[in-house]
Amino acid sequence: MMNLALSDGSFSLTLPLRLAYYFKGGVWTFPDWLCRLCVYGFYVNLYTSILFLTLLSMLRWLAVAQPLKHRTLATPTRTVLVCLGVWLFVGMSSAPFLSNGVTNRAGSPRCFEPSNPSSWERVLILNYVGLALGFLIPFLTIIICYSRLIRHLTARSGPHGSSLSSNDGVLRWNCDVTVALQRAAVVTLCLAASNSVVNPLLYYYSTRTFRDSMRDAQSSLLSSRAGSSRPTQALMRRRRNTTSF
């Protein structure tokens, strides 16, 4: 959950730069390295968030359905190694996005878009890989884990299943298809950003451990303030006593 909160928090840090870019009419006024870092951080934090959500669903199903195996497998050391593996895998897989920096189009510096046809082909291939490893497999895994978890908790068995349809794409589409895909990308981008903003509230900040930590921190803060105010109050009383003489 801490890795999920870190991933989603880092993802949210890239959104102000995108907002500034779009509010300025698609003109990038920041350095080239910041454009590369923003694109890279966007995809790294997006896909690590998805994979951490998938791991959480697997751990929750395992803890409820097979608690003994969960206790054996989900050790702190293995959990740390798996989380590091997720960061390394997504970080290395997203490394090609570092090669796309600021490009000039229509006389204006642009960001968040490939600079040449070869870059478009590479991004298209990465999108297919991201569709499989970053959406389809995690989505089906989450659906299966929580379906089995609900069935185990309710002790009822019901029909469940999933249907998956695929459509092979080609590198050249007509204008209508391209415009439809661009509009769909805008909508899905907003949904992904909203999901990453809400995730920390659902999976981390709403947990009992976090609430207890915040309660303890608040209690210690109040006690420290009360402790610091006692010497001040004693000093004020002492001054009143001396002035009364």
Domain 2-163+180-206, CATH number (from 1.20.1070.10, 1.10.357.20, 3.30.70.580, 3.40.50.720): 1.20.1070.10
Rounded Cα distance between 40 and 14, Å, is 10
Between CA 12 and CA 8 the distance in angstroms is 6
Q: Is 82 exposed, middle or buried (0-12, 13-18, 19+ CB in 10 A)?
A: middle
Q: Which H or E element spans position 119?
A: helix 117-131
Give the per-residue pLDDT at 188: 74
User: Which pLDDT score is estimated for 205?
Assistant: 62
| CA distance linking residue 88 with residue 74, whole number of Å | 20
CA distance 54 to 70: 16
Please tell me the predicted confidence (pLDDT) of residue 162.
40
What is the per-residue pLDDT for 112? 81
Q: DSSP letters of 195-236?
A: HHHHHHHHHTTTSHHHHHHHHHHHHHHHHHHHHHHHHHHHHH
Model pLDDT, residue 157: 47
Which residues have a Cβ under 8 Å from the Cβ of 26 and sit 6 or more positions away?
Answer: 108, 110
Tens-binned pLDDT, residue by residue, of the chain (245 aa): 788 888 888 888 888 888 898 898 889 999 999 999 998 998 898 899 889 989 988 988 888 888 888 888 888 899 999 999 999 999 998 888 888 788 888 888 988 877 766 667 777 787 788 888 888 899 999 899 888 888 887 865 444 444 434 444 474 556 777 777 777 777 777 777 777 777 766 666 666 666 676 677 777 777 776 665 555 555 455 555 554 44
Q: Report the C-alpha gap between 245 and 240 in whole angstroms.
A: 9
Nearest to 111 by CA among 187, 30, 194, 16: 30
What is the predicted pLDDT for the residue at 140? Answer: 92
| Local structure of 123: helix, strand or coil | helix
pTM higher than 0.75 for the full model? no
C-alpha span between 131 and 120 (Å, rounded) = 16
Amino acid (one-letter) located at 139: F
What's residue 238's pLDDT? 55
Q: Which three-class secondary structure state does DSSP give residue 103?
A: strand
pLDDT at 89: 93
Domain ranges of the chain: 2-163+180-206, 212-245
